[in-house]
């Protein structure tokens, strides 16, 4: 399994590398990221969510997973703040460390890896979607603007309630939220999409859903930029240690605490 995970990860990295090569020769441009992002938000992710979640057997296990990830998020934020203070970094640097460690966009890369490892495991795909949306996307929408305002250098301050309320209002108007609500309804009431939408529409959903494993890698390749770590390397190192060493141990501990299955 370890060998398969490593080879799958290398394969995904090669896709990103291929996009970088295309950028190098001017065949694609960073500006194209806007088109890819819109495709993901308005077509691919909604189709992926609906197609993967509506067949899953949802229950309290997913609720415990969400609580686990939310707990991990708040612990990460606290640790990042404390580490930033210990390193005597500036407030903007502490805020950046909190944002990069507390809100890791795991679903972007985790979805392709999971599909390669378990291509036909609907339950695992549904778990990833439910947890990433309720345990990652919503906290990010609610807390990231607040942290950015508290630790940023802006002189314009918006009331916290308005920041959070505006973020939630934006989210519930997105196709992603609509697809998630519809998929959960279909799953809980055991409604087969072929009966409601027809088999042709189900095939269309599947076709659009498959783009969710490739387009995020293209987006990463389009958005990657070379940057200097001078003056910030210690903050980057702290973020890497938190996400690659501390987070796995915390996740394992919290999973046992909340009685999650393997």
Taking alpha carbons only, the member of 130, 124, 136, 127 closest to residue 181 is 130
Per-residue b/e over 115-154, b at no fewer than 16 CB within 10 Å?
Answer: bbeeeeeeeebbbbbbbbbbbbbbbbbbbbbebbbebeee
Residue 262, domain member (yes or no): no
Q: What's this model's pTM, rounded to 2 decimal places?
A: 0.76
- pLDDT score recorded for residue 234: 80
Residue 107, domain member (yes or no): yes
Name the 3-class secondary structure at 119.
coil
Identify the CATH number of the domain in which residue 204 sits: 1.20.1530
Residue 17, domain member (yes or no): yes
Residue 86, domain member (yes or no): yes
- pLDDT score recorded for residue 57: 79
Angle, CA of 124, 108 and 80, to the nearest 5°: 105
- pLDDT score recorded for residue 12: 81
**Domains of the chain: total:** 1
Residue 145, domain member (yes or no): yes
Residue 187, domain member (yes or no): yes
- pLDDT score recorded for residue 73: 85
Instruction: State which residues form the domain around 41.
Output: 2-257
Provide the residue-wise pLDDT of the chain in tens; the chain has 262 residues.
667 667 777 888 888 899 999 999 999 998 999 998 888 888 888 888 888 888 777 778 888 888 888 888 888 889 989 988 888 888 888 888 888 777 755 555 666 777 777 777 777 778 878 877 777 777 887 888 888 888 877 666 777 777 777 778 888 888 888 988 888 888 887 766 655 566 677 777 777 777 777 888 888 888 887 776 666 778 778 888 887 788 888 888 888 887 776 6
Residue 247, domain member (yes or no): yes
Residue 143, domain member (yes or no): yes
């Amino acid at each position: 399994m370890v060998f398969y995970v490593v080879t799958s990860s290398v394969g995904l990295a090669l896709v990103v590398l291929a996009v970088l090569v295309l950028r190098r020769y001017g065949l694609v441009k960073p500006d194209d990221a806007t088109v890819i992002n819109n495709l993901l938000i308005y077509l691919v992710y909604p189709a992926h969510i609906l197609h993967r979640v509506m067949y899953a057997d949802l229950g309290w296990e997913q609720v415990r997973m969400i609580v686990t990830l939310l707990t991990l998020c708040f612990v990460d934020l606290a640790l990042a703040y404390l580490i930033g203070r210990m390193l005597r970094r500036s407030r903007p640097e502490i805020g950046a460390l909190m944002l990069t460690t507390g809100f890791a966009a795991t679903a972007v890369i985790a979805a392709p890896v999971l599909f390669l490892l378990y291509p036909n495991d609907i339950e695992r795909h549904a778990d990833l979607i439910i947890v990433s949306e309720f345990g990652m996307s919503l906290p990010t929408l609610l807390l990231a603007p607040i942290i950015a305002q508290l630790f940023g250098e802006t002189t314009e301050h918006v009331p916290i309630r308005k920041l959070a309320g505006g973020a939630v209002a934006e989210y519930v108007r997105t196709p992603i939220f609509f697809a998630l609500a519809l998929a959960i309804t279909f799953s809980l009431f055991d409604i087969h999409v072929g009966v409601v939408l027809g088999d042709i529409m189900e095939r269309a959903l599947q076709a659009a859903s498959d783009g969710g494993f490739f387009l995020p890698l293209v987006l990463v390749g389009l958005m990657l930029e070379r940057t200097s770590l001078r003056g910030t390397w210690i903050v980057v190192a702290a973020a890497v240690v938190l996400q690659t060493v501390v987070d796995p141990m915390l996740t394992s501990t919290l999973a046992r605490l909340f009685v999650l299955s393997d």
